[in-house]
Amino acid sequence: MTTGLIPGGQTPDPRPSGARPPQQRRDHTGPGALHVDDRPRSSVITARAAASFEPVGRSVATARSFVRDTLQGWGFADIIDDAVVLTSELVTNAVVHAGTHAEVLCLRSDDGVRIEVADRYPEREIPLQGSPATMGSPDREGGRGLQLCAAIAGRWGVEYTPTHKQVWFQLELPDRPVGTRAAGPSLPADLLPIADSRVRVAVVQIDGAGAVSAWNEDAEELFGHPADQVTGKPLTDIAAWPHTPGTSTGIVEALQLSRWEGSYGIRGADGRVTPVYASHLRVRDTGGEPSTVCLLVRDHERAVLQTPLRVPASDPPVGSDGQSTDPFEVFIGSPAPDDLDGLLQRTVERARDMLDADSAFLLLATDDETELEVRASTGLPSARQRFARVPVEAGPGRYGSARMPAVHEDLLAVPGAVPLLNGTGMRSVVTVPLKVEGRLTGSLGVAAESPGRYSNEEALRLQFAADRIALAVESARLGELERLRRGSLSFLVEASDLLAGTLDRDQTLALMAQMAQMTVPTLATWCAVYTIADQASDPYLSYVLHEDEELIDGIKSLLSKIAPPDPVPTPGARVWAAPAEAAHDAALRSSMRSLGLTGGPTHQVSSGIGPTLATASAVGGETVVLPLVARNRVIGMLTLGKPTDEHFRQEILELAEDLSRRAALALDNARLYSERTAISQALQRSLLPPELPEIDGVEVEVIYRAAGEGNEVGGDFYDVFPISDGAYGFAIGDVCGTGPNAAAVTGLARHALRLLAREGLSGPAVLERLNSAILDEGARSRFLTLLYGEMRPQEDGSAELKVVCAGHPLPLRLRQDGTVEPAAEPQPLLGVIEDLELYEQTITLDPGDVLLCVTDGVTERREGARMLGDDGLADVLTACTGLTAGAVAARIMRAVERFASDAPSDDMAILAMRVA
C-alpha cells in the first residue's frame, strides 16, 4: 500500500493524469434511481488522504484500516462504520473481483466526507432506473457495492475514463447539537476521583521521526525536564514503556496509530519514573507532515483524560434527540435487509468491521439442531464454505461447544479447533452463539490473520451484538423455510404441468434435465439423466446439462468412460463417488503429462489440460443418484452433482426426490406413447403408395395432408401406377370419416384397384367389383367417393384419359387459354348400393393442359359461413396457366391454407397432371 497526505485547501482533480473528464456523474436519490449529479463541487476541501492497494485479498482489510484511521484522525467517529462498510465492498470489487489495483481517496470538506474508490477495470455496467436487481445479486460476496451506496450514502455515483472506473460516495456529517456530549451522575464528594489542587496536563508533540518537537510548562513541572533539553530527542529516551508478554504494540507503533489511550511511565530529571495516563492523537500540519499530540497526566488523575466506559449492555443506546435507539438497528443499520441472506451478509460484514477482522462467518442450526450450517461469510472462500455443515457438539479438538462463547488466540496451537477456517490463513478467532429462548439457533464468528487479536472483551462485544440480532435472524430463517416449502410445492406443480404437456420421449428427457437446472444453484450445478430401455439393457447416458454450457461436453465425455450407477429401485438419493474419483484421476494424469512426468512430449497434451481440470472442478464434489421408478421398474436415473467440497442440503434432496417420481411417470408414459405411435405410423406408412412412376410426356404431382395429430394416412387416398405397356392408372378417393378406421378402407380400396386394373378390367368393372368388396365388410364398411381413370400418352404429344367419377368432386381441366371446365360427369358413390351401373368418359389433354383432381377437404374448406367450393377452386386454377404440375398443386394448397385461419379438420389430397 502506498499513501499520501496533501494539505487542506481546494483539492486538485483526483483523476489520473491524461484522463478525459467524465461525461456524467450519477447520484442516488431513491431506490433504483440514477440521476445526473450536476451540483458544482464548490465545497472547500480541508483535508485529503490517498492510498493505493495491490490486487490481493489482504488489501481489503488494509483499506478498511486506512479509512478508519483517517476518519478517526479527522474526528468523524459518527460516520466511520458506514464509511468502512462501503469502502470494504468497493475495494473488494476492485482487488478481488476485478483483479486490479484500487486507489482510495478521502476528501474532507465543510459539509461532509467524500470517499472515491477507483480501479483499472473500466467496464461500463450501471444499473438501469427501476431495475435495482441488476445492481448485483445479494446471494454472493461481490457485487453489492452500488446497492450499499444507494442504501447508506447521502450521495453517490460512478465516473468513467478510458482506463479507470471510479465509484464515489459522500457521507453527510450528522448534526451535532450544542450542549452535552457525555455526562455522568451527580456523586457525593467522597466518591469523586482524587487529584492535586492543581491538575497539570502535559502537552507533548512528537514529530514524524518520533522526536519531541513541543514541550509545555506543565510537562516541565511534572517531569523536571526543561523544554530545550528534551526538544529534538526521541520520546523513547524518556518513556518507560511496559513490555507485556504477548503484546506486540510498542511505543513506536502506538505513535503511528490515529488514536491511542493508555498508561506508561516518563523518566524525570531525577531518574525516577512517573506513572502517567496518556491520550495520543495523530495529526498533520498544513504542509502534510504527520505528528502526534500527547496529553499526559499523573496516573492517579487519569479520570481527567480517560474515555468514559461503554454503555452497559442492559442500557439501550440513546440518540441525539434523546429517544432510545434500537440496538438491532445500531448494529445492522437502517433500513435492515428484508431477506435472510441479505440480513446474514450484513451481519457478518458489520461484525467483521466492528472488531476490525479479516473475515467473519455465520452458521445457522439445522431443523434438528444437531448441526450448524454455514449461511454467510466474508473474507472466506464463500463458494466453498456455503451450506457446509459441522456438528454442534463434536468433543475436544473441534468447537467444544457452540453453545458458549469461545476465543482462540492461535489456531496453529490447536489444529482443527474451527474446521471451517482450515487452510484459510486465519490465526485467531472468536465465536459466540445465537440463542432464542434458550435454543441454539446459530453461531457468529470473526477471525483475523494474526494471532492474539481477540480477548474476552471482544467476545463480550460480539455476544452483545449476537443477542440483539438472534431473534431477527430466527424470524427470517423461519420465513425463508416457509417460502422454500411453498416454492417447492409451486415448482413441483409447474414441473408436473410441463411434464404432462408432452408425450415425446426426447422432449421429456430434456424437460427433466432443464427442470433440474432451473433451480441452479439451489438444486444442482450439473445433472445427467440415464435411461434403461428394458430390464435386460444397461443404463444409457441420455442427457447432460451444466449451468456453464462449455463444460457439458467434458462432463459427458467423463461420464461415458465410467460405469453407470447401479439401477437400485430403493427410493431416495444415494451418493455416487465414481464421477468425482474419475475426474480427479483424469486431472492428475493430465497435470503429470503436462509436466513431462510420463516421458511424453508436453505439447501433445497441454491443449487438453484446461478442459480436463475444469471438468474435474465441476464434477469433483458430491454426486447423488435418484432412481426413476415407474410401474415397479427402474426406467432410468437422475444424477445431480455439485462442484468441489459442496454438499446437498436435505430439503434439496427431498425436492429432487419428488421431482424424480413425477419425471419417472412422465418418462414412462412418453415411452409407451412413443412405442404405440411408432407402431401406428409404421402401419399407416404401409397404406401409402410407393413413389410415383415417371410417365413420358406427362408431369404428375401429389400433395397429401392427413387431419389429426400423429396421422400420416386418413380417409383420403391417391394412387398412380402402371397397368400395362403405355397405360397408367390413377385414382383419388375419400372414405367417409378420418383416422385409423377410415385408413383401413383406404388400404382395401388402393390394393383392390391395382389388382383389378392389372387383370385387364375396364374402369366401370373395376369400380363395381370394388363396391362389392366394400359391402362385404358388413358393419365395418364405409361409403367411398372415387375418381378412377386410365391414361395413355399419344404419339402426337397429347394424352388420352378414360375416367369414372363415382360420387367424387369432378376433375377440372385447365386449357392453355386459361379456361377451366369439368372433365367428367358425376355418378353414384361406392359402398351404398349393390347393383351399380357405371360408365367411363374419354377426354383428350392437349400439350400444356392440366387435369386437377382434389378431395372434398379442399372444396369444403370453411371460414365461418364462407366455403371455398367448386367455383372458388376454379378461380384459383384459372390463374395457374403456364405453371408446372408441381407449381399448380402448391398454389392450390397455399390458397386452401390461406382461406381459413383454423387448422384443417378434414383430410386433403391434390393430384395434378400436366401434359408437357
pLDDT score, position 504: 65
Does pLDDT of 323 surpass 60? Answer: no
Q: Which of 107-111, 249-253, 431-435 has the highest mean pLDDT?
A: 431-435
The 3-state DSSP class for residue 351 equals helix
Give the sheet arrangement for strand 259-267, strand by strand: 212-215, 202-206, 290-298, 273-284, 259-267, 239-240
pLDDT score, position 688: 74
Q: Using the structure block, give the residue that is written with the C-alpha cell 431477527.
A: 472
Asked if 543 and 513 count as a contact pair (C-beta separation under 8 A), the reply is yes
- Over residues 268-320, the pLDDT tens digits come to 998 899 999 999 988 888 888 889 999 999 988 888 888 765 444 344 444 44
Does pLDDT of 6 surpass 60? Answer: no
The Cβ of residue 704 has, within 10 Å, a number of other Cβ atoms equal to 20
Mean local confidence (pLDDT), 325-329: 50
Asked if 120 and 24 count as a contact pair (C-beta separation under 8 A), the reply is no
Instruction: Please give the Cα distance from 136 to 128 (Å, whole number).
Output: 12
What's the Rg (C-alpha) of the chain?
44
pLDDT score, position 374: 84
Q: Confidence class of residue 396 from pLDDT cuts 50, 70 and 90?
A: very low
DSSP string, 375-431: EEEESS-HHHHTT-EEESS-BTTTTB-TTS-EEES-TTTSTTSSGGGTTTT--EEEE
pLDDT score, position 12: 40
- Over residues 463-511, the pLDDT tens digits come to 888 888 888 888 877 776 666 666 556 556 656 666 665 666 666 666 6
* Cell digits of residue 609: 489440460
Q: Give the residue with greater pLDDT, 330 vs 734.
A: 734
Q: Confidence class of residue 324 from pLDDT cuts 50, 70 and 90?
A: very low
- Over residues 801-852, the pLDDT tens digits come to 999 999 999 999 999 999 999 999 999 999 888 888 899 999 999 999 999 9
Q: Which residues pair with 378 in a beta bridge?
A: 360
State the SS3 of 200-253: CCEEEEECCCCEEEEECHHHHHHHCCCHHHHCCCEHHHCEECCCCCCCCCCHHH
pLDDT score, position 367: 66
Of the given ranges (160-174, 490-504, 751-765), which has the lowest mean pLDDT?
Answer: 490-504
* Cell digits of residue 110: 465543510
Which residue type, as a one-letter code, is found at position 428? S
pLDDT score, position 823: 93
pLDDT score, position 420: 80
Q: Give the residue with greater pLDDT, 484 vs 860.
A: 860
Q: Confidence class of residue 131 from pLDDT cuts 50, 70 and 90?
A: very low
Instruction: Please give the Cα distance from 495 to 622 (Å, whole number).
Output: 25
Asked if 431 and 419 count as a contact pair (C-beta separation under 8 A), the reply is no
Instruction: Please give the Cα distance from 93 to 130 (Å, whole number).
Output: 23
pLDDT score, position 193: 78
pLDDT score, position 808: 94
pLDDT score, position 136: 45
- Over residues 56-115, the pLDDT tens digits come to 877 888 888 888 888 877 878 778 888 888 888 888 888 877 778 899 999 988 788 999
Question: Residues for the chain: how many in total?
Answer: 916
Helix 578-594 to helix 606-619 angle (10° resolution) is: 150
Of the given ranges (371-385, 413-427, 596-610, 788-802), which has the lowest mean pLDDT?
Answer: 596-610
* Cell digits of residue 689: 403408395
Does pLDDT of 362 surpass 60? Answer: yes
Q: Give the residue with greater pLDDT, 463 vs 612.
A: 463
pLDDT score, position 17: 38
Q: Give the residue with greater pLDDT, 856 vs 16.
A: 856
Give the sheet arrangement for strand 574-575, strand by strand: 540-546, 526-531, 633-641, 623-630, 574-575
Asked if 602 and 595 count as a contact pair (C-beta separation under 8 A), the reply is yes
Q: Give the residue with greater pLDDT, 546 vs 784.
A: 784
Asked if 787 and 804 count as a contact pair (C-beta separation under 8 A), the reply is yes
- Over residues 208-239, the pLDDT tens digits come to 889 999 999 999 999 999 999 999 999 989 99
Q: Find the Cα–Cα–Cα–Cα dihedral 152, 156, 157, 161, rounded to 10°.
A: -110
Q: Which of 67-71, 291-295, 674-678, 725-729 has the highest mean pLDDT?
A: 291-295
- Over residues 378-394, the pLDDT tens digits come to 887 654 455 566 666 64
Asked if 173 and 113 count as a contact pair (C-beta separation under 8 A), the reply is yes
